[in-house]
Amino acid sequence: MSLNSPHKSLFRFLLIICLLLMLTSGYNISAQSDNQKNEKKSSNNRKDKDPKNDPSQIGNRDVTGGVNFYSLEKEIAMGKALAQDVEKQVKIVDDPIIAEYINRLGQNIVRNSDAIVPFTIKAIDSSDINAFALPGGFFFINTGLIIETKSEAELAGVMAHEIAHVAARHGTRQATRGELINLATIPLIFMGGGWAGYGAQQAVGLLIPMKFLQFSRQFEDEADNLGLQYLYKSGYDPVELLNFFERLQAMEKKKKGTLAKVFSTHPANADRIKKTQKAISELDSRPDYAINTSEFNKVKSLLLQKQSLIKTEDRPTGPTLRRRPGQEDASDDPESKDDDERPTLKRR
């Protein structure tokens, strides 16, 4: 078949049009395919992200994980019984300003956590740096730890770690695993097994065996991670908790043995600090965070005043001097008194 020149030109024109349409169609199909792949990849990324690492999922996720032979009712009952024993052995702070503040601070964190049990939060009048939470939501914090923190965010961070232990039901989960035998003597110790087993010193005073104060590395890491998220969701700067960790580490380096009694067997502090830094870096940044409040300063000031008063009352008296009969008492002469003996008044 032969085509004359005009027909050839038309044929070539139509052929070019067809080729262009095919190429354009192919490009569109390819673009749609790429978009679908990207959307699918983004969707998969959301699905692949562990809800335990996503603060936006707090309250809508299960952080208890694994097998647990203990019902919530039994856990709460055992925690309540142990809390009653604790209160028989310690002095609970009855100052309404301090007690109300500590409870309110803790309950705010509980509301921003995965906890599914109600919390009872009380302060213990003790200079030991210590805080611990019992199964079922019974939380105790020593005044010594409150004094040691330098901001409300630091204090909230310590409490968030403890609340995380309870929210994840670490006590009964560990008991179920067979790592702990007597559940009635298991407190969830702040930084136990890792940062420190801060409950060790106080717990010994409460007749709780040291072997029951060590939690698995997995549970401590989990409490660190969840606690940071609770602190973050409550509006506090998570870096403040990191500052507290580093300061405690510096205390031990400065004077070896300073924290020996409150530290349990633990991994390298530097390693845990590094993990905390990484977890903080993965949180979405915010324009502002809460760090400190006037209420925290007021409560800490009250505690320092009480501490100072106790030290003054406990201070030993000086030697007693007796004047011999007939000896003149220089103190009877008003001119003999030195100006340095007069009381010094200091404006607060």
User: Could you tell me which residue, 255 or 219, shows the higher pLDDT?
Assistant: 219
Residue 346, pLDDT score: 37
Q: Which two tokens stand for residue 172?
A: 């009964």
User: Could you tell me which residue, 89 or 318, shows the higher pLDDT?
Assistant: 89
User: Could you tell me which residue, 46 or 64, shows the higher pLDDT?
Assistant: 64
Q: What is the mean pLDDT of the chain?
A: 75
User: Could you tell me which residue, 153 or 338, shows the higher pLDDT?
Assistant: 153
Instruction: Report residue 94's pLDDT band, with 50, 70 and 90 as the boundaries.
Output: very high
Calculate what percentage of the chain has a pLDDT beyond 90.
40
Instruction: Report residue 344's pLDDT band, with 50, 70 and 90 as the boundaries.
Output: very low
Residues 83, 166, 240, CA angle at the centre, nearest 5°? Answer: 110
CB 93 within 8 A of CB 219: no
Least confident range of 233-242, 315-324, 332-341: 332-341
Is residue 19 scored above 60 in pLDDT? Answer: no
Query: With the C-alpha atoms ordered 290, 196, 165, 187, is the resulting torsion angle positive or negative?
Result: negative
Fill in the amino acid letter for 289.
Answer: Y
Residue 69, pLDDT score: 86
CB 259 within 8 A of CB 313: no
Least confident range of 66-70, 100-104, 266-270, 307-311: 266-270
Is residue 250 scored above 90 in pLDDT? Answer: no
Instruction: Report residue 245's pLDDT band, with 50, 70 and 90 as the boundaries.
Output: confident
Residue 65, pLDDT score: 84
Q: Which two tokens stand for residue 245?
A: 């960790």
Please report, for the chain, the start and end positions of each structural domain, with discontinuous segments joined by +.
Answer: 69-301
Residue 8, pLDDT score: 60
Instruction: Report residue 172's pLDDT band, with 50, 70 and 90 as the boundaries.
Output: confident
Q: Which two tokens stand for residue 90?
A: 């310690």
Instruction: Report residue 289's pLDDT band, with 50, 70 and 90 as the boundaries.
Output: very high
Region 24-42: mean pLDDT is 47
User: Could you tell me which residue, 297 or 325, shows the higher pLDDT?
Assistant: 297
Claim: this prediction has a pTM higher than 0.75 = no
Q: What are phi and psi of 291, to 5 degrees?
A: -120, -50
Instruction: Report residue 43's pLDDT band, with 50, 70 and 90 as the boundaries.
Output: very low
Region 327-336: mean pLDDT is 49
Is residue 20 scored above 80 in pLDDT? Answer: no
Calculate what percentage of the chain has a pLDDT beyond 70.
59
Least confident range of 92-96, 209-213, 265-269, 282-286: 209-213
- Classify each residue of 319-338 as buried b or exposed e, where b means 16 or more C-beta atoms within 10 Å of its C-beta: eeeeeeeeeeeeeeeeeeee
Residue 296, pLDDT score: 98
